[in-house]
Structure 1
Amino acid sequence: MGFTVHLPTLLLLSVAINLLIGGLLWAIFKLRSRQHCFRLWALACMAFAAGTLFAGARAFIDAPWITVFLAHVFLGFSPFLVLAGLQRFSGIASRKTRRFRQVLRFSAAGYLLILLLSFQGDPLNARLLTALFSAALFSFAIYTLSKLDTTPSLPVRILKVLFTVHGVLMMSQALVIGVDWLGLNQTNTDFLLRLILINHILLASATTLALPLLAFTQSEQRLRIMAERDGLTGLFNRRSLFREGIRAFDNAAQSQAQLAVLMMDLDHFKQVNDRWGHAAGDEALRLVSRTLRHELRDDDIIGRVGGEEFAVVLRITGDDDVRIITHRLLEAIATNGQEIQGLPLYISASIGGVEKADRHKTFADMMIEADSALYNAKNKGRNRVEFEQLPPETTTP
């Protein structure tokens, strides 16, 4: 049984699908007007639909300016607009990015010039040129995706696969046309090109559906960061610290692992704000947060729980000495906080700590005792560490 493709039906289906998806993306752009990537992606769909319509009109009119030149202008600029949308979406502004955009503009200008000079000959010239141009654009798109830091990474991986397959497909189309030119092809070139067109349409539709998923995933990631992180320091906020602390406490209870909680307060911080201004105070808070990140491990939990109050949950291993760690923190803060942005702030801190014991039934119990130890440290002179002492052991007869 032979495989036949009714090309007009295929082209009309492609136009309808891309117009529907383009309309959806345009509606999203209107709802989220700050995200101009959706407008570019909508235009990419409409350009693909227009190019397909103009190319299909060759069966009804003999006008190469429309059915070849104009058709391939739109078909070539459809992936160009997809890539432009990715560039806008990434929001990366650097010298390398600007140079990259200049290369793209020159490539697009070169594509138009060569297309203008060659389209009146064999129509396959335009198809070959558009296939090579599209393959190059999909390669650039994969490069752009590799620079994105998006969690979860599934939409990026999906788009990389789609762009890779799409690029390979365009190179295959160029190869089929090239082999036909050389007279080495013994198969039905028209059938192969139609088969490639089917896959091209399917991939284009899948790509335009995956692009909003990428944008929505990043928006969700930003909202999650805003909900979980302190806006000034980037550390966990109070709610997130308690959530992560409870999880660490439960894991430590199940595995009989050691755990410590530290409460830290910057000494005389109100005087810093009153004397040097809130901008200096904010910079001091950012410096302390950077110091904590630098001195502690990646799996330690650090949060800002109040104005100048911080909390740390330490997962203790056999070689760790919590008291040594806390004294190292005090020294680092005092050293780094002597001068901030040219101002002699002389930041210091007091720390209260507690190590997990059988009497602690919840993470909140440890936080209460660490806060009590912090109160003792501040009463005993500040810029010091105090640990909540274990109660006397009781025995039953």
Structure 2
Amino acid sequence: MAIYSQRRQRSFLYWGLSCVVFASAEVVASLRVFIDFTLLTYTVADILIITAPTLALYGVLWHLTPERQYPVVKYICVGSAVALLALSPYLMLSQLFTSLVVATLFAATAFHLSKARVLTNIYILILTFLFVLHSVLMLGQAAYMSSILSLPISDKSNHILEIILVIHLVLTTCTALVFPMLYFTRSEAHLINLANFDALTNLYNRRAFFTFGEQRIKECIDKEQPIAVMMIDVDYFKRVNDQFGHDAGDAALKWIGKKIGDHIRSSDVAARIGGEEFALILANTDHETAIKVGQRLRASVFESNFRWHDKAIPLSISIGVNCQPLACKDIKHMLMQADKGLYIAKNSGRNQLVENDDTLVGAALS
């Protein structure tokens, strides 16, 4: 949690610096009215103008994928600074160069935001839209500068550039207001994730299982659909911990959690509700389908090779199933019936699937 917060705060720091640098660029550029110092009021200002979206891009990259590094972004400022110093005698060319670089940076930022897995987040959508507008605006400015590049100074008008600057300031202000909202909503989403998911298996935890499970059951009741509940327990799990250590046990639970995830639909509810116990709610699932799913899962665990430090560790699971032609309101009752099947499976040799009516399905371990 601390590492996560520090990394997200770092992305927020980049955004804050981006705003400060942009404001500094405008202050330096406005000095043109008072002093005739081209290197400062044009070249330094342009370097700061390029640095601002570079920091914004880096902040977005850190926010979306903090585990990765993007050294190329850091080199953009250095390369641009060198290029602008070389172009300092040619003011219109240097500003044309600045407009193109800034347009590219804004486009790159919009592209990475559009690839975010949380694209449905309204603040992600707003930011993406703002950066696209930024990019289009800078391209328009570059096109205009190209069209007047060969004109005599007396024929060049700054009115269009002044209008573009005002629009640019408005867009930048809007972006600066949205950045904090993105940060705080992402932090809030992470806290919700911590409250609902088991950190080891990435399945729901016990509390979330009952919360979302009751919602799924209500949906099945409203639609008069069948439902199935499963209780799953890892066989002889204590032996894994005793022989190979708790790290191996954690890895085994994570591996089984992934197996469970691979065998269910997105509409199903899967959770780790105890040490080595898992529970499933299969919405709109009849008796025959539930048995097939359970058997495939049981066989997949037993027939696959879980490896720990290049050593194969045999694993198996026992499953209790309760199927209802029409979902009943009491999730605890359904779990209790599935747990009875699990108890029979555990006491009948393990690596079995048993329904709540005591019907044995599956082969016991030899």
**TM-score range normalised by the length of the shorter chain:** 0.7 to 0.9
Contact 1:237 1:305 in 2 (8 A): yes
Would you say how many aligned residue pairs link Structure 1 and Structure 2?
A: 353
Question: 1:387 corresponds to which residue?
Answer: 355
1:162 maps to what in 2? 130
Q: CA deviation at 1:63?
A: 1.6
Aligned match for 1:112, one of 81, 85, 98: 81
Distance 2:20 2:202 in 1: 41
Q: Residue 177 of structure 2 corresponds to which residue in structure 1?
A: 209
Superimposed CA distance per residue, residues 269-322 of structure 1 (whole angstroms, 9 cap, x where no aligned partner): 112212221112111111211111222223221111100111111124469532
Q: Could you say if the C-alpha distance between residues 113 and 324 of structure 1 is closer, same or farther in structure 2, counting changes exceeding 3 Å?
A: closer
1:174 aligns with 2:142: yes
Of 299, 302, 308, which aligns to 1:331?
299
Deviation at 1:141, TM superposition (A): 1.2
Whether 2:6 is the aligned partner of 1:37: answer no
Q: Corresponding residue for 2:346?
A: 378
Over 3 Å counting, the alpha-carbon distance change for 1:242 and 1:109 in structure 2 is same
Structure 1 or 2, whichever has the larger Rg, is: 1
| In structure 2, distance between residues paired with 1:204 and 1:359 | 53
**Secondary structure, in 3 states, of the residue corresponding to 1:321?**
helix
CA distance in 2, matches of 1:200, 1:189: 18
- 1:132 aligns to 2:106 (yes or no): no
Task: Show CA shifts across 1:206-230 (max 9, x none).
Answer: 1111222222222122212111111
Secondary structure of 1:168's match?
helix
Q: Which of 249, 259, 262 is matched with 1:281 structurally?
A: 249
Conserved in 1, the CA contact under 8 Å of 2:221 and 2:328? Answer: no
Which amino acid is 2:25 matched to? G
Aligned CA distance change for structure 1 residues 209 and 222 (closer, same or farther; 3 Å): same
Gaps spanning 5+ residues in structure 1: where?
Answer: 1-31, 391-397
Report what 1:4 is aligned to.
Answer: none
Alpha-carbon distance, 1:160 to partner: 1.2
Q: Distance in 1 between matches of 2:119 and 2:103?
A: 27
- 1:126 CA displacement: 3.3
Root-mean-square deviation (CA), in Å? 2.6
Q: CA deviation at 1:376?
A: 2.1
1:297 maps onto 2:271 in alignment: no
Specify whether residues 131 and 239 from structure 1 end up closer, same or farther in structure 2 by C-alpha distance, changes over 3 A only. same
Q: How does 1:78-117 map to 2 (within 5 A)?
A: 78-91=52-65, 98=70, 101-102=71-72, 104-117=73-86
Gaps of 5+ in 2: 359-366
> How far does the alpha carbon of each residue in 1:137-175 deviate from its partner, in whole angstroms, 9 at most, with x for none?
112212332343336432221111111111111111112
Residue type of the partner of 2:270? I
Q: Deviations over 1:319-350 (max 9, x none)?
A: 95322322222211111256554445322221
User: Percent of aligned pairs with the same residue?
Assistant: 32
Taking structure 2 as the reference length, what is the TM-score of the superposition?
Answer: 0.88
